[in-house]
Amino acid sequence: MENCIFCRIVNKQIPSKIVYEDENILAFHDIDSKAPVHILIIPKEHIPSMNDINQQNCNIVSHIFYAIPHIVEKLGVKGSGYRVVANCGKDAGQTVDHLHFHILGGRSLSWPPG
Ligand code: 5GP
Ligand code: ZN
């Protein structure tokens, strides 16, 4: 997917501040952080959104959630708390059509979100 910005980040064609990487997933700092800690975790495989998770690719979701405790510990918010957000589609404000999970932390987060 040469036009996908996150695929380009996976392929290191666009630089990013990586906090975790393995064979199947990548975590990096959001370029426009909305909290002191704002990370994006993505599958390396191009999956456009939550709507495209299926029996063939769903293992990547558990892989991402398995990595989260390790990543948040590294970021120093495991004890203080954090939020995991996945925007899907127009009404949720999804702007990049490559599945991603936001991790937000480092301050008190309002609830419910806008
Ligand atoms: P969404 O709005 O789709 O849930 O989240 C997309 C996120 O990707 C936004 O928070 C935006 O700041 C981030 N983003 C967009 N382009 C880039 C980029 O080139 N590099 C990084 N690190 N983050 C990006
Ligand atoms: Zn992509």
In a domain, 99, yes or no: yes
41 lines ligand 1 (CB under 6 A): no
Active site residue 98: no
Nearest to residue 50, comparing CAs of 26, 22, 84? 84
- Please report the pLDDT score of residue 1 as a whole number: 76
Q: What is the pLDDT of residues 93-105, one digit of tens each?
A: 999 999 999 999 9
Examine residue 10 and state whether it is found in any structural domain, yes or no.
Answer: yes
CA pair distance 34, 63, nearest whole angstrom: 25
**Is any ligand 1 atom within 6 A of the Cβ of residue 93?**
yes
Whether 113 has a pLDDT exceeding 90, the answer reads: no
Residue 112 domain-assigned?
no
Residue 63 belongs to what domain range? 5-105
- Indicate whether residue 87 lines ligand 1 (CB < 6 A): yes
The rounded Å distance from CA 105 to ligand 2 centre is 25
- CA atoms of 64 and 27, how far apart (whole Å): 9
Burial code (b: 16+ CB inside 10 Å, e: under 16) for 55-68 equals eeeeebbeebeebb
> For residue range 58-101, what is the model confidence (pLDDT) as tens digits?
999 999 999 999 999 999 999 999 999 999 999 999 999 999 99
CB-based contact 50:11 (threshold 8 Å):
no
Is 114 inside a domain boundary? no
Total tally of structural domains belonging to the chain:
1
- Residues in contact with 64: Cβ distance below 8 Å, sequence separation at least 6, in sequence order: 25, 41, 43, 101
Indicate which CATH number applies to the domain containing 31.
3.30.428.10
pTM: 0.97
Sign of CA dihedral 95, 82, 71, 54: negative
pLDDT bin (cut points 50, 70, 90) of residue 114 is: confident
Catalytic residue (choose from 38, 46, 63, 100): 100
